[in-house]
């Protein structure tokens, strides 16, 4: 199309009335307005492509080629299609690790949510020292994970750890917390402890948004505390609960640090995230670096997280209708 | 929430496509590292970069000062440190991007993989002198008959003992001539009310390094992890856990943590490295002695060689100058009058017989270590670059054995699984 100077300076707001432009102003103004629109969007698009699109695509590309240290350096990794995915999923330990990841994630977020909600309801009633106590519950969130992870590992020492002394008081035999069989349980305990503050804070602020008049009206109508909880708190807290659970799920799926510090992903504590980390950097039991396999497992993790994200959007949309 | 409109969908499409295009551009290496260049054709530059795996040796430490004193006239050395496996990964990326350092100290079992991945210049190219180095210690740095660097010295594993505890239990360390007599000694120590032995069985190469003396001492071979000899080595350490002679935390303790457990003064024996020899000699609370690790049927088991190689990474730009830097600094650290200082600063025995003799003459602490270092065996000598895979499997087997806590069928299953049959 021929380019002639616009009759007047285009205003970016005009892009909001494109339909009118097309009829009234003819092609010239519409063209200029679109250029301006592109100019405004470009920085965001460039940012998204460079920092999100490119790494994601690179990750997928890596999982479709067979990389080792030599081909990583000199290039020329052969394209193998979906072979890497087939190999990863075909390993006998794959489904075991998926199961462990599911247990780790579901048990962690369920207990975190229930305990977080119980504490939030507890702190809803202001009492002396309630602010101080609430602040103390935030400590796990403020500590660096390297500190809390090491402390948990030390408390779970099978020979002279604090936790075994504690269970000993109840007549329980010392537990080898971090051995292959118990490792999953131990890292779940530590992870729940880490995640409670997050649930507490979000759910507590959600509770603040429920008008107290509802509770008062219900009380006058004769509803007891239990009834008030199920009929007012739970339904009105649903949007907040949903986002808490979804964020908790995504955070927990990708947890590496606490597990790595405590067990390096040995035994039953291996999850998709720690497995991918170990292969990507040649750490832990295996010093062999496996770029392609790590990318494939990372990709699988992303798809799982994305699936739950879509579930969240669907549920949210249903609520709004 | 509104539906995705077609325009937005097209936008996302463009993003994804351009992302693929970007990925396409960077498929190959940015700069191909050259095979050309030689130290003799280059001149040293004003700044020399030096990477080592000793983050604990800070700026101003004995080691740091020694390295920087090796800068040729008109040059300064910029030293940076990272843990072993991180250093290897950083080196991989740096060579790919064409900005590798001049000198890297790389852990010896990584040498075959590093050279076969095309990360290293040959010793000849980089002007590194390998004359006078013991064959067993130089071994890990020789791949397909070509030398790729020079060992910075060697450490080795020994069996430390707490003399006070052994005396009280009536154990004479000189009587320990094989596994049976070692077990008898540990049993006496435990019967006297003390604890048995500490070692590191942590997942990964570090735990494997500590397991190999028992593995080789049983007559097992890295090419067959499922053999009866291999299983018997696993059974030995598994029984220690099962009988309560060794702490169960051995399965997660690294070598420093395991040494800390020994320092509590509760344990009779500790398997650990020569780098703690100075620490042991300086202890006030109890007297520490050391004997070689026994094999199943003899007094001395082969131990793996430990320590780093000084190497020159492949360079794509001004290669000869970088190699000249490497040649000059490595020669300063490993030959001539600074060679002894280098070994002492690292807590290693030198890889050269004459320097080792000088170290022993100056410090009697080293005397019992000399024969161990001289009899040590390279981890990768037998398998080359595939050692890392076997080591991963062996680590898995050892973890399984420790978790079995003495149960013979569990130990056997762990080793059979790891060997893939």
Contact B211, B218 (CB under 8 A): no
Alpha helices, DSSP H, located in B264-407: 277-281, 319-334, 339-346, 353-362, 367-375, 387-404
The pLDDT value recorded for residue B122 is 93
- Supply the mean pLDDT for chain B: 88
Q: How far apart are CA A216 and CA A234, in angstroms?
A: 16
Predicted complex ipTM: 0.81
Q: How far apart are CA B331 and CA B131, in angstroms?
A: 11
- Measured between CA atoms, the residue of chain B closest to residue A58 is B23
Do B301 and B325 reside in the same domain of the chain? Answer: no
Please determine, for residue B313, whether its predicted confidence score (pLDDT) is greater than 70: yes
A1, part of any domain: no
Q: Which residues of B248-264 are buried (b: 16+ CB within 10 A; e: fewer)?
A: bbbbbbbbebbbebbbe
User: Which structural domain, as residue segments, surrounds residue B258?
Assistant: 157-305+379-419
The pLDDT value recorded for residue A175 is 87
Domain count, chain A: 2
Alpha-carbon dihedral sign for residues B123, B90, B395, A85: negative
The pLDDT value recorded for residue B226 is 93
CATH of the domain at B406: 3.40.190.10
Residues of B in contact with A287 (CB under 8 A): 85, 109-110, 204-205, 388, 391-392
Radius of gyration from C-alpha coordinates of chain B = 24
* pLDDT band per the 50, 70, 90 thresholds, residue B421: low
**Closest listed residue to residue A107, CA positions, set A173, A177, A193:** A193
Q: Which residues pair with B161 in a beta bridge?
A: B269, B289
Do B178 and B125 reside in the same domain of the chain? Answer: no
Q: How far apart are CA A252 and CA A304, in angstroms?
A: 12
Do A45 and A107 reside in the same domain of the chain? Answer: no
**Closest listed residue to residue A220, CA positions, set A126, A212, B408:** A212
* Dihedral class, residue A224 (left if φ above 0, else alpha if ψ from -120 to 50, else beta): beta
Distance from CA of B74 to the nearest CA of A (A): 33
Do A171 and A306 reside in the same domain of the chain? Answer: yes
User: Which structural domain, as residue segments, surrounds residue A313?
Assistant: 92-320
Q: Which residue has the tokens 């199920």?
A: A230
Do A35 and A103 reside in the same domain of the chain? Answer: no
Tokens standing for residue B290: 């050391």
| CB-nearest partner of A73 from B18, B27, B117 | B117
**Helix/strand/coil (H, E, C) string of chain A?**
CCCCCCCCCCCHHHHHHHHHHHHHCHHHHHHHHHHHHHHHHHHHHHHHHHHHHHHHHHHHHHHCECCCHHHHHHCCCCECCCHHHHHHHHCHHHHHHHHHHHHHHHHHHHHHHHHHHHHHHHHHCCCCCHHHHHHHHCHHHHCCHHHHHHHHHHHCCCCCCHHHHHHHHCCCCCCCCCCCCCHHHHHHHHHHHHHHHHHHHHHHHHHHCCCHHHHHHHHHCCCCHHHHHHHHHHHHCHHHHHHHHHHHHHHHHCCCHHHHHHHCCCHHHCCHHHHHHHHHHCCCCCCCCCHHHHHHHHHHHHHHHHHHHHHHHHHHHHHHC
H-run or E-run covering B24: helix B6-25
| CB-nearest partner of B248 from A68, A74, A176 | A176
**Beta strand extents in B146-213 (DSSP E only):** 146-147, 150-151, 157-162, 195-198
The pLDDT tens digits for B7-32 are 444 444 444 444 444 444 443 333 44
B138, part of any domain: yes
Q: How far apart are CA A282 and CA A305, in angstroms?
A: 25
Cβ neighbours of A297 (radius 10 Å): 27
pTM attached to this predicted model: 0.83
| Cross-chain residue pair A284–B203, CB shorter than 8 Å | yes
B6, part of any domain: no
Alpha-carbon dihedral sign for residues B332, B337, B339, B340: negative
Q: How far apart are CA A298 and CA B312, in angstroms?
A: 34
Contact A258, A149 (CB under 8 A): yes
Do B210 and B161 reside in the same domain of the chain? Answer: yes
Tokens standing for residue A158: 């099978």
* Phi, psi dihedral angles at B412 (to 5 degrees): -60, -45
Do A53 and A101 reside in the same domain of the chain? Answer: no
CATH of the domain at A225: 1.10.3720.10
A83, part of any domain: no
CB of B396 within 8 Å of a chain A CB? The answer is: yes
A71, part of any domain: no
Please determine, for residue B73, whether its predicted confidence score (pLDDT) is greater than 80: yes
pLDDT in tens, chain A (321 residues): 444 444 444 444 444 444 444 455 566 788 899 999 999 999 999 999 999 999 999 999 999 999 988 888 888 889 998 999 999 999 988 999 999 999 999 999 999 999 999 999 998 887 888 888 888 888 888 899 999 999 999 999 888 889 999 998 998 888 888 888 899 999 999 999 999 999 999 999 999 999 989 999 999 998 888 999 999 999 999 989 998 999 899 889 989 999 999 998 888 999 999 999 999 988 876 678 899 999 999 999 999 989 988 988 888 888 777
The pLDDT tens digits for A104-127 are 999 999 999 999 999 999 988 878
| CB-nearest partner of B89 from A180, A282, A286 | A282
| Cross-chain residue pair B118–A284, CB shorter than 8 Å | no
- Measured between CA atoms, the residue of chain B closest to residue A56 is B19
Do B190 and B273 reside in the same domain of the chain? Answer: yes
Contact B68, B49 (CB under 8 A): no
Distance from CA of A231 to the nearest CA of B (A): 27
Domain count, chain B: 2
The pLDDT tens digits for B187-241 are 999 999 999 999 999 999 999 999 999 999 999 999 999 999 999 999 999 999 9
């Amino acid at each position: 199309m021929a380019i002639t100077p616009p009759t007047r300076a285009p205003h970016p707001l005009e892009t909001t009335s494109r339909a009118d432009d097309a009829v009234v102003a003819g092609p010239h103004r519409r063209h200029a307005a679109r250029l301006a629109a592109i100019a405004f969007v470009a920085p965001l698009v460039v940012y998204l492509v460079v920092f999100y699109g490119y790494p994601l695509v690179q990750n997928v590309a890596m999982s479709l080629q067979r990389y080792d240290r030599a081909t990583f350096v000199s290039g020329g990794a052969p394209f193998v299609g979906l072979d890497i995915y087939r190999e990863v999923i075909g390993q006998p330990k794959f489904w075991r690790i998926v199961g462990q990841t599911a247990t780790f994630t579901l048990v962690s977020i369920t207990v975190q949510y229930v305990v977080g909600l119980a504490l939030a309801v507890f702190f809803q009633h202001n009492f002396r020292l309630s602010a101080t106590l609430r602040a103390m519950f935030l400590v796990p969130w403020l500590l660096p994970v390297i500190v809390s992870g090491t402390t948990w590992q030390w408390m779970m020492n099978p020979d002279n750890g604090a936790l075994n002394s504690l269970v000993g008081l109840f007549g329980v035999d010392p537990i080898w917390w971090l051995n292959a069989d118990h490792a999953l349980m131990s890292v779940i305990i530590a992870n729940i402890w880490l995640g409670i503050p997050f649930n507490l804070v979000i759910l507590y602020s959600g509770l603040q948004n429920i008008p107290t008049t509802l509770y008062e009206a219900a009380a006058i109508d004769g509803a007891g505390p239990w009834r008030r909880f199920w009929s007012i708190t739970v339904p009105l807290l649903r949007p907040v609960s949903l986002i808490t659970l979804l964020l908790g799920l995504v955070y927990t799926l990708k947890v590496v640090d606490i597990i790595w510090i405590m067990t390096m992903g040995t035994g039953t504590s291996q999850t998709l995230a720690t497995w991918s980390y170990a292969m990507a950097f040649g750490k832990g039991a295996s010093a062999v670096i496996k770029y392609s396999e790590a990318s494939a497992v990372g990709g699988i993790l992303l798809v799982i997280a994305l699936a739950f994200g879509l579930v969240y959007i669907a549920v949210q949309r249903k609520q709004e209708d | 929430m509104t539906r995705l409109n077609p325009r937005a969908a097209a936008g996302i499409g463009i993003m994804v496509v351009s992302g693929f295009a970007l990925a396409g551009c960077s498929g190959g290496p940015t700069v191909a590292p050259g095979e050309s260049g030689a130290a003799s054709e280059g001149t040293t530059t004003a700044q020399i970069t030096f990477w080592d795996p000793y983050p604990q040796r800070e700026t101003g430490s004995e080691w740091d000062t020694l390295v920087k004193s090796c800068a040729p006239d008109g040059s300064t050395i910029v030293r940076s440190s990272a843990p072993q496996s991180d250093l290897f990964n950083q080196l991989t990326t740096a060579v790919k991007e064409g900005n590798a350092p001049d000198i890297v100290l790389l852990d010896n079992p990584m040498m075959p993989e590093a050279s076969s991945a095309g990360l290293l210049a040959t010793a000849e190219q980089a002007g590194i002198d390998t004359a006078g180095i013991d064959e067993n210690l130089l071994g890990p740095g020789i791949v397909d008959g070509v030398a790729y660097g020079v060992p910075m010295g060697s450490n080795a594993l020994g069996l430390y003992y707490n003399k006070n505890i052994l005396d009280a239990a009536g154990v004479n360390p000189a009587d320990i001539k094989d596994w049976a007599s070692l077990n008898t000694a540990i049993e006496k120590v435990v019967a006297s009310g003390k604890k048995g032995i500490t070692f590191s069985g942590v997942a990964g190469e570090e735990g494997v390094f500590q397991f190999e003396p028992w593995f080789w001492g049983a007559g097992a071979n890295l090419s067959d992890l499922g053999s009866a000899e291999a299983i018997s080595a696993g059974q030995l350490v598994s029984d220690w856990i099962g009988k309560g002679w060794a702490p169960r935390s051995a399965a997660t303790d690294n070598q420093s943590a395991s040494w800390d457990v020994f320092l509590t003064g509760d344990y009779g024996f500790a398997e650990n490295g020569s780098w703690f020899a100075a620490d042991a000699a300086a202890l006030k609370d109890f007297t520490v002695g050391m004997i070689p690790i026994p094999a199943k049927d003899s007094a001395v088991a082969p131990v793996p060689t430990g320590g780093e190689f000084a190497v020159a990474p492949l360079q794509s730009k001004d290669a000869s100058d970088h190699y000249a830097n490497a040649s000059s600094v490595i020669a300063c650290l490993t030959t001539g009058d600074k060679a002894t200082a280098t070994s002492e600063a690292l807590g290693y025995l030198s890889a050269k017989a004459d320097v080792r003799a000088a170290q022993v003459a100056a410090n009697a602490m080293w005397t019992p270590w000399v024969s161990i270092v001289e009899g040590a065996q390279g981890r990768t000598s037998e398998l080359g670059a595939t050692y890392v895979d076997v080591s991963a499997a062996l680590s898995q087997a050892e973890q399984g054995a420790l978790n079995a806590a003495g149960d013979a069928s569990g130990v056997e299953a762990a080793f059979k699984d790891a060997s893939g049959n």
